[in-house]
Amino acid sequence: MGGAAVAWLFVLFAAAAILPAAEAAHTVYSEYQTHEPEKLSPQDHRTAYHFQPPKNWINDPNGPLFYKGVYHLFYQYNPKGAVWGNIVWAHSVSRDLVNWIPLPPAIYPSKPFDINGCWSGSATILPDGRPAILYTGIDPRNRQVQNVAFPKDPADPYLREWVKPDYNPVINPDAAINASAFRDPTTAWRGGDGWWRVVVGSKNDLQGLAVLYRSKDFVRWVKAAAPLHSAAGTGMWECPDFFPVARRGRNGLDTSAAGPALKHVMKVSLDLTRFEYYTLGSYSPEKDRYLPDAGMADDRTGLRYDYGNFYASKTFYDPAGRRRILWGWSNESDSTIPRAVWLDNGGRQLVQWPVQELEKLRGKKVEARDLILRKGARYEIKGILTSQADVEVTFEVTGLEKAEGFDPRWKDAQELCKKKGADVAGGVGPFGLWVLASGDLSERTAVFFRVFKGKEKHVVLLCHDDSSSTSRAGVWKPSFAGFVDVDIQKDRKISLRSLIDASVVESFGAGGKTCITSRVYPVHAVGGAAHLHAFNNGAAAVKISLLRAWQMGTPNMNQPTEP
């Protein structure tokens, strides 16, 4: 990569904002290529340990699976440029979810049923152990159809070549379905009756739909009379994901698991908001209907895996680690760290945590204990490269009676974070971390908690406030925030983990109850010039009982090597 790489980041932002989803063009935005790189090196914003290819545009993670000791991740990729277009299923393999080796694209336009595009889909492991991929193809009439692909040589653990049988498409949009809004098949699950089920995302006007199909042989699919689930006013459901979670414990479950010891999760990526929402609920295999629990919503008031820059996610069951692993796309062009996902005690929400393999990258460590941060105090974490780090902190809170009152009209966490940013002094909090901060602190991204006094209990907000980051004009950097469902009065402490990786900040509040990912493009706080501080801008003192920060190593991230 030459000097054009800095512009490349801009091109990606511009592309994400301007390109309509269905426009397959390699557009060059010359106005973004003339920006002065302000002494930044082309690689200053390139992440080190988040999944990405050596160059070019990526979007949705596709069909993650585990096969013969190898993890596979496919993803929507433009082999020809840094904007959306020419999309193929790129393919990488890993033995540890940390180091990745690129293989040739697995699926690319070559047959009538996908000649105009090979879009997102999922993998299913068949009873004989072979994987099958279901994906959306764009046919010569620009209709969205669903196709199946199988490995050419099931003996090859790297699954290098995929065959798309000529009987495709296996699912055509019928007259009742909008053929321009019919995509992203899920992993299939098999009922006790031996029938496979799969859902495809769609819409009918503004009603979001998870259209259900059944098959005995994975080849002939029949549409069910009713969708698995739908919701008025939510628009197109992209990348639906539907899977069981155990009521107890952190182990994941195979997608076909059934019985009383589990609940189901239905996640949709709403094209209207460009954010994802999920519900917990129950699935009736007899009726083939999914019913969210009382109080759960599929719309923009619903629960989110991640309250930041996170979309088009997908999970898979990892039989080796007996866990369910989640991947999301963080635009412009990265995937988040794979996260294990399980049901929280109490069953009201999911919890996520970076896969433990990531800890292999932890290098030099610095530690602090029993630090009291009074109002206005800060503490700098020194001695490691903080632009590539993993930080874990536990904050003990005091003076809860000083918490600001919570106005019940504050339903939108993101709005609240915008109004009460990290520099707005409070009662209990804001306290947290300033990451990717310049030496003079004029540039910084705040990751913080703020505690309010609600009617019944305290309300805790986790926030990413990037407003003090000087990144260049035109870069998308909203404040992101989510509420954290904890009883702070009882716990008296709250934990925060942040993964910092040049231009990604990925935070896990309260052990992974509330997660936020941001893309940040500092001008000064890059590489060795980035600083990390803990801070408190609240009237009540907070105590850092333990802070540990590790410099993170650089894995093999899709540099060509022999697997």
Ligand X SMILES: *[C@@H]1O[C@H](CO)[C@@H](O)[C@H](O)[C@H]1NC(C)=O
Residues tagged active-site = 60
- Write down the least CB distance from residue 139 to ligand X, Å: 15
Cα 346 from Cα 485, distance rounded (Å) = 11
Contact criterion met (CB below 8 Å) for 231 and 240: no
Contact criterion met (CB below 8 Å) for 279 and 243: no
Contact criterion met (CB below 8 Å) for 63 and 347: no
Name the residue nearer to ligand X (CB basis): 200 or 373: 200
Cα–chain-centroid distance for residue 203? 23
Name the residue nearer to ligand X (CB basis): 21 or 126: 21
Cα–chain-centroid distance for residue 248? 24
- Write down the least CB distance from residue 21 to ligand X, Å: 9
Assign 3-state DSSP to the chain and report helix, strand, coil percentages, each to 5: 10, 45, 50
Considering only residues 377 to 436 of the shown chain, the ones binding ligand X according to CB under 6 A are none
Considering only residues 544 to 563 of the shown chain, the ones binding ligand X according to CB under 6 A are none
- Write down the least CB distance from residue 102 to ligand X, Å: 24
**Per-residue string for binding with ligand X, 4-23, x by CB under 6 A?**
---------x--xx------
Name the residue nearer to ligand X (CB basis): 205 or 456: 205
Name the residue nearer to ligand X (CB basis): 120 or 255: 120
Considering only residues 232 to 291 of the shown chain, the ones binding ligand X according to CB under 6 A are 274
Q: Does 476 bind ligand X (CB under 6 A)?
A: yes
Cα 388 from Cα 394, distance rounded (Å) = 20
Cα 513 from Cα 485, distance rounded (Å) = 7
Convert 59-97 into a string of H (helix), E (strand) and C (coil).
Answer: EEEEEEEEECCEEEEEEEECCCCCCCCCCEEEEEEECCC
- Write down the least CB distance from residue 555 to ligand X, Å: 25
Name the residue nearer to ligand X (CB basis): 273 or 554: 273
Name the residue nearer to ligand X (CB basis): 94 or 331: 331
Cα 311 from Cα 305, distance rounded (Å) = 9
Cα 289 from Cα 312, distance rounded (Å) = 23
Q: Does 29 bind ligand X (CB under 6 A)?
A: no
- Write down the least CB distance from residue 519 to ligand X, Å: 8
Cα–chain-centroid distance for residue 281? 21
Contact criterion met (CB below 8 Å) for 463 and 480: yes
Residue 361 phi/psi, 5-degree rounding, is -85, -10
Cα 52 from Cα 77, distance rounded (Å) = 10
Count of residues of this chain found to bind ligand X when the rule CB under 6 A is applied? 11
What is the DSSP track for 352-377? EEE-GGGGGGEEEEEEEEEEEE-TT-
Tokens of 495: 């934990």
Name the residue nearer to ligand X (CB basis): 17 or 126: 17
Q: How many CA atoms lie within 13 A of 43 on its CB side?
A: 7
- Write down the least CB distance from residue 507 to ligand X, Å: 18
- Write down the least CB distance from residue 474 to ligand X, Å: 9
Name the residue nearer to ligand X (CB basis): 159 or 181: 181
- Write down the least CB distance from residue 115 to ligand X, Å: 20
**Tokens 């809004």 identify what position?**
181
Name the residue nearer to ligand X (CB basis): 116 or 331: 331
Considering only residues 295 to 354 of the shown chain, the ones binding ligand X according to CB under 6 A are 311, 331
Q: Is 10 helix (H, G, I), strand (E, B) or coil?
A: helix
Cβ neighbours around 434 below 10 Å, total: 25
Q: Tell me the residue type at 346.
A: G
**Per-residue string for binding with ligand X, 160-199, x by CB under 6 A?**
------------------x-xx------------------
- Give yes or no for a cis peptide into 430 (omega within 30° of 0): yes
Cβ neighbours around 456 below 10 Å, total: 5
- Write down the least CB distance from residue 24 to ligand X, Å: 15
Q: Which residues here bind ligand X, judged by CB under 6 A?
A: 13, 16-17, 178, 180-181, 205, 274, 311, 331, 476
